[in-house]
Amino acid sequence: MSGSFDLVVQGGRTLIDGDFAETSLRIAGRIIANVGGDGRGSHTLDASGLLALPGIVDLHGDAFERQMMPRPRVDFPVDVALIDTDRQVISNGITTVFHATTWSWEPGLRSADNARKLLAAIETLRPRLLADTRFHLRHETYNLDAEAEIIGWLTESRIDLFAFNDHMGLTKAKPQKRNSMVERTGLSTEAFDQLVAGILARADEVPASIERLAKAAREASVRMLSHDDNSPTMRTAFRALGVGIAEFPVNEETARDAIDSGDDIVFGAPNVVRGGSHTGWTRTSDMIEKGLCSILASDYYYPAPILAAFRLVADRVLALPQAWNLISSAPAQAAGLTDRGVLAEGRRADMILVDDEVPMRPRIVAVIAAGRLVHLTEAHRLMSGQPSRLKPIAAE
């Protein structure tokens, strides 16, 4: 069977133009060719009783690290980790995924060697992966020795999103976080402290490095993010460099400054699902109610985006079209991906079919990515008299 085919999805409650309507969608190749047409195609899926929703766009997820290193100092091959991660993201309705890869001054999991391996593996495996898999580089700003190589990657269009991180402060401010960093590096406490002291000795060089990297990203038309902004002053400084996305601003004042200035704000979907932050910070659902969150990301747990959207509905924070916007059209727009995030004629055919019968426990029945049926769990309820030969297909 070829990599794509003429497919009609009919009878589902379909999210179109911000509302639900029972209609049909015809997919031809990689795009949605027609909405509400005659419902005839070479293959048909009967989505009666299901929701038809745009595929999820995940701007920030690093759960793939658990496939690379499921236990401290226990490594698995990068290609194995990425292929397993691809299965996870697709089965959770994520059709576009940005792997948030941290390149730090630390050795170990977030080292230069692993960043290089990840980028090379994503580029090599991309044609075989079912989700549209992209590289989100999280640059630790004290990692000065990486600057020249990163500028090269930006110039060569190898980076899809570029974030500025600074976790140096955690080495002293949060002992528990520091301990996990030490464990991740594989260093002794004494060796870790010596490394940190050497890195801090070059602190005066960091601001100029940030400016040079931001300039390279702007010239390469790569969207930028800043992580854990702690004040309006900090957010304003990054905004002046062309950094238009604030990830996890640490207080409401900073988040409000970002929104008032037209920036996007990313918070973690796991926070919504769990009803609060695992670090003791504010509830993301409260920020959403106040209009201070425009995007939800999987962060460290791939099932979280879809679960978060339905929890927001159950908690009466948002209606489902608005909740779904946080994980589909809004992140697509923030990343500059104008071909996806909504179900409309001419757009990329990324769609998930969802059984929402049980409150807060949506079940994904099928996933279509770039026009391909890539995940199917209950074929019997979709066939409606169609030949059983219709089955999920692999990427070519």
C-alpha torsion sign, points 269, 270, 274, 280: negative
pLDDT value at residue 3: 46
* CB-side neighbour CA atoms (13 Å) of 174: 11
How many whole angstroms separate alpha carbon 89 and alpha carbon 93? 6
pLDDT value at residue 197: 87
Domains identified in the chain and CATH numbers: 7-54+341-383 (2.30.40.10), 56-334 (3.20.20.140)
How many whole angstroms separate alpha carbon 225 and alpha carbon 228? 10
| Extended beta strands in 104-175, E state | 132-140, 161-165
Strand partners, 305: none
How many whole angstroms separate alpha carbon 354 and alpha carbon 361? 10
Phi and psi based region of residue 366 (left: phi greater than 0; alpha: psi -120 to 50; beta: remaining): beta
Helix (H, G, I), strand (E, B) or coil at 41: coil
- Strand-strand pairing, 31-35 and 19-28: antiparallel
Residue 306: its H or E element: helix 304-314
pLDDT value at residue 394: 46
How many whole angstroms separate alpha carbon 114 and alpha carbon 136? 14
Two tokens at 393? 């297909």
Averaged pLDDT, groups of 10, the chain, 396 residues long: 69 95 94 82 87 98 89 86 96 97 88 93 96 97 96 98 85 59 74 85 95 98 96 97 96 96 97 80 90 97 98 97 98 98 97 95 96 92 57 44
Under 8 Å between Cβ of 297 and 288: no
Q: Own/partner pairs for 62-67, CB < 8 Å, 24+ apart?
A: 62/99, 62/100, 62/101, 62/102, 62/299, 62/300, 63/88, 63/298, 63/299, 63/300, 63/301, 63/302, 64/99, 65/109
